[in-house]
Amino acid sequence: MILAPGLRKFVLTVHLISSVGWIGAVIAYLALSVSAATGRDAQTVRAAWISMALIGWSVIVPLALAALLTGLVMAVGTPWGLFQHYWVVISLVLTIVAIGILLLHMPTVSALEGAAREADATYPSGGDVFHAGGGLMVLLVITVLNVYKPQGLTRYGARKLPGQRTSIPR
């Protein structure tokens, strides 16, 4: 099933907005995480953890899921296909792994946010720089793969397109 040109452009637009938004939200989360890790003031650290939970659940998770969904629609609805090119498969696997780690990690962030909200409790020290930095690196790798689209058909792709070359939009 190939998407009609107007629908393809719409889905591509939503995909780009959600993907770039996901990266931007992770950068904001990373900045807050560095602030929590280096902050010496309890209020700053508390505010950082509260903000990280808010950004994580309200921005990063929805944008990540939107990027995955629209990416799947783009793969299935364009000549690239879902399993025909290695760069698509690698992007899909990295996206699913990143979202899996994100969803497994967010309850910990929520628990630390809860501790940060309690005025007399010991506030969480340190940040979440490892997760935010690692997530950003994965998102940048996915972005590079999707921009450069390295050559290489999977076995399935080679069987599906024997001896024919189709014009695929860049």
User: What DSSP designation does 85 have?
Assistant: B
Please tell me the distance from the alpha carbon of residue 32 to that of residue 49, in angstroms, as a whole number.
8
Please give the structure tokens belonging to residue 41: 């003031």
Spell out the SS3 assignment of 32-58. HHHHHHHCCCHHHHHHHHHHHHHHHHH
Residues (pLDDT < 50) of the chain are none
**Which pLDDT belongs to residue 162?**
60
pTM summary value: 0.89
Identify the pLDDT of residue 166.
Answer: 52
β-bridge partners, 170? none
Q: What is the pLDDT of residue 113?
A: 92
Residues 6+ apart with CB under 8 A from 47: 116
Q: In this predicted model, what pLDDT tens digit does every residue of 57-88 receive, in sequence order?
A: 999 999 999 999 999 999 999 988 999 999 99
Q: What pLDDT is stored for residue 17 in this prediction?
A: 98
Q: Quick one: DSSP state of residue 124?
A: P
